[in-house]
Structure 1
Amino acid sequence: MSTDLTHSFTVEQTPQQVFDAINDVRHWWSDNVVGDTATLGAEWVYLTPDIHFSKQRTTVLSPGQRVEWLVVDSHLSFTDDKEEWTGTTIRFEITQPDGPHGRTRLDFTHVGLTRDVECHDVCETAWGQYVVGSLRDLIRAGVGRPGEFSNQESLDAALAGTAQVPSAS
């Protein structure tokens, strides 16, 4: 059984602060976001020219608890199935496992993006940098790093069709 791509971290900030940061997509993912990302039912677009296009619909906005986006359209230039993100769900679950006065945990899951999906390895690296890096920085320090994908080598390899699948650890 293949599992969905996930990343998690904990912070000292409140669940509401984590929720607010998630919905401030332009300040942690990319300033190439067009549309309203913080209204239930709204559709918006993420674009990296010549590489990645995806249109999301915000399907869950539960303050301090959960955010979900359904990918309603996509185009990845570096995969055989250009639309492999279409129909997947990007989920952010916010909890306080130690109670209301404890640290806040964010569990990010890209539902449907499993190991058997071609973009998994590049997307896992990119999501890690955006979620565990930029989003966590935005939550903790008020400043994210939108649009900063530092593993250009992996992306170049994917675009050239020479990406290596790392061994399981």
Structure 2
Amino acid sequence: MTNDFNSSISAKISASEAIKKISNVTGWWGVTLTGNTEKQHDTFQITMGGDSFFAMTVTELVPAKRVVWLITDCNMPWFNDKKEWANTRLIFDLNENNGETDLTFIHEGLTPDVECYKDCEQGWTHWIKTSLHSYLTTGQGVFRKPTR
């Protein structure tokens, strides 16, 4: 058992449609995005204001089953370790059953012993359980101001 951050939701949506919506990052995560997110090996960058950014690569894409994004570089100016998320992975595993999809999100490398865990845990819990769930079920994300 790992202590990486994880969160799970279920929604009445096909797994294929859920992956499309996860890939539309700006629909559920209040960020600016450049690049592409739909295919394996696509690269994209998320900015959240100021000089903060997260550069990512889609390293795995299994239709209707799994999406994995590797964070290749980042700048989190509000933490001592500004590169804390570099070389961590965002993993979305999906399991569709009778028109409902269970989604498990894991931020591999985000563990309680890293500086941002407390803030990042609150952030991810909002973005997955509230905003992404809302986007999957209603088509509208629930944006909020960053905690810092």
TM-score scaled by length of structure 1: 0.81
Query: Given that residues 2 and 115 in structure 1 are in contact (C-alpha distance below 8 angstroms), is that contact kept between their aligned partners in structure 2?
Result: no
2:130 counterpart residue number: 133
Query: Given that residues 30 and 144 in structure 2 are in contact (C-alpha distance below 8 angstroms), is that contact kept between their aligned partners in structure 1?
Result: no
Radius of gyration: which is bigger?
1
Instruction: Give 1:126 shift.
Output: 1.1
Q: Does 1:118 align with 2:115?
A: yes
For residues 10-64 of structure 1, give each alpha carbon's deviation from its aligned partner in whole angstroms, at most 9, with x where no partner exists. Answer: 1121111211111111111134011101121111111112363110001111111
SS at match of 2:103: strand
Q: Distance in 2 between matches of 1:48 and 1:104?
A: 29
Can you give the 5+ residue segments of structure 2 that lack an aligned partner in the other structure? none
2:144 to 146, 149, 153: 149
2:49 counterpart residue number: 49
Q: Distance in 1 between matches of 2:107 and 2:87?
A: 11
Q: Distance in 1 between matches of 2:29 and 2:61?
A: 18
Can you give the 5+ residue segments of structure 1 that lack an aligned partner in the other structure? 156-169
SS at match of 1:114: coil
- How many aligned positions are there? 148
Q: Percent same amino acid among aligned pairs?
A: 29
For residues 42-96 of structure 1, give each alpha carbon's deviation from its aligned partner in whole angstroms, at most 9, with x where no partner exists. Answer: 1111111236311000111111100000000011112111101000000000013
Partner amino acid for 2:86?
Answer: T
- Aligned runs of 1:91-102 on 2, under 5 Å? 91-96=91-96, 100-101=97-98
Q: Distance in 1 between matches of 2:11 and 2:30?
A: 22
SS at match of 1:61: strand
SS at match of 2:109: strand
Partner amino acid for 1:119?
Answer: C
Q: Distance in 2 between matches of 1:50 and 1:115?
A: 26
SS at match of 2:110: strand
